[in-house]
Amino acid sequence: MKCFNKKHFSLIIICILTATYSYSQIKVSEFIQESKIASSEGNKLFFVDFWATWCIPCITAKEHLKVLQNQFPDEFYVVSLSSENPLKVERFLEKKPNDLAVAIDYNKETFKAFSVKTLPDGILFNANGEILWRGGAPDLKKKAVSRFLNQQTTSATLSSFFDLISSAEVSTVEYIPSKPLEIKPIADYFETLDVVDGESYLKLTGSLRSILGYLAKVYKKQIVLEQGLDTSYEVFLKKPFQPNKNLAFQLIMEMGLTIDRKSDVGEGISLAIENPKFWDTNQINWGKNNPKYLIGDAQIKADNVSLKEIAYQLAHILDMPVILSEDSQLNLELHDWDFHYKFFQLMQTDLEDNYGIKVEKKKVTFPVYHIQKKAP
């Protein structure tokens, strides 16, 4: 009888385990919370829900996924993955609790690996890391999940499927700019805007239109780019910024572009300061270098933010121009905010009663900025 070689047997076991989990694991920086519905063991399917706190359709998608997760508490595991600041996500969850697992992709490694350019987006994987389905969460139906579950034989644990990147790994890839303004083209197009507002720099990643809109605090549809210009970039701006420096204009000049301001008329919202009774900056305190906004599915909270910035955020949420009635220093002063925006009349009442701002939905004249290459 042949002797049993324990060393050889151990090697076989190691090889088997390596083969079982050799798929490309989904990289995450940390789990804010594990699922309060599903089991972390023995899952045949994993759905990664790419989202952001500012993305209103993402909130609707999460509600659908919560229902789906309750229908399949075993063998199916949903993880909502955001690339935002963990503190911002935690505060969002305090305001809008959810029972799904929530994780952070700090360096957007997984966002980039799967070319996530618009939100919401979602990918259904089997336990081997193979993509079975991709699309908006509301399009993933109970019948489809049942069918995919019946087709799978392999299962995995939460800890084996997701690869947690240590904080040391994260810090080694962080880039700190050396120049006041640095511009890096990106091959892939990213319609969404990612903002990292650090202590020594501001980093913006996304389309040129979204970056310019953020810097100028102008609704992106008020920016018209010459054909071929709206590609994606990483833009680094070193702090501290010069007082009254127009960062959007600085970027346009650095890129060798020109700007022509025109006007248009259409439906929009007008904000007029009639009887100012703004909050001071002591009502909300989220600390230094933390997110300025917390945008839920019906409410906006903001810490140390100007009315001009509030108008910019409202324009994107409501998908229409939001115009300040006059160019006043009051528009630039910093305040804390907490008001409803989903239903117009409630927003109207909130802003007028609590801040002395009159809100009207009407035909407005708004500026449109045409950006083009300089003539040779």
- Amino acid making up residue 31: F
What pLDDT was estimated at residue 14?
32
Of residues 37, 40, 50, the one with CA closest to residue 124:
50
What pLDDT was estimated at residue 95?
80
How do 101-104 and 76-82 pair as beta strands? Answer: parallel
pLDDT digits (tens, 9 = 90+) for 323-336: 998 878 899 999 99
Count, residues in the chain: 376
Contact yes or no for 186/205 (Cβ under 8 A): yes
Task: Report d(CA 5, CA 60) in Å as an integer.
Answer: 57
What pLDDT was estimated at residue 367?
94
Helix (H) or strand (E) holding 90: helix 86-95
Residues 6+ apart with CB under 8 A from 112: 188
What pLDDT was estimated at residue 132?
96
Task: Enumerate the CATH 3.40.30.10 domain ranges in the chain, comma separated.
Answer: 23-167
- Amino acid making up residue 299: Q
What pLDDT was estimated at residue 290?
66
What pLDDT was estimated at residue 9?
33
Regions of the chain short of the pLDDT cut 50: 1-23, 167-173
Of residues 126, 125, 23, the one with CA closest to residue 81:
125
Hunting for tokens 């006043």 — which residue is that? 328
Rounded to the nearest 5 percent, the helix, strand and coil shares of the chain are 30, 30, 35
CATH topology of domain 23-167: Glutaredoxin (3.40.30)
Contact yes or no for 210/198 (Cβ under 8 A): no
Q: Which two tokens stand for residue 54?
A: 């500012």
Q: Which two tokens stand for residue 74?
A: 């075993």
How do 45-50 and 121-126 pair as beta strands? Answer: antiparallel
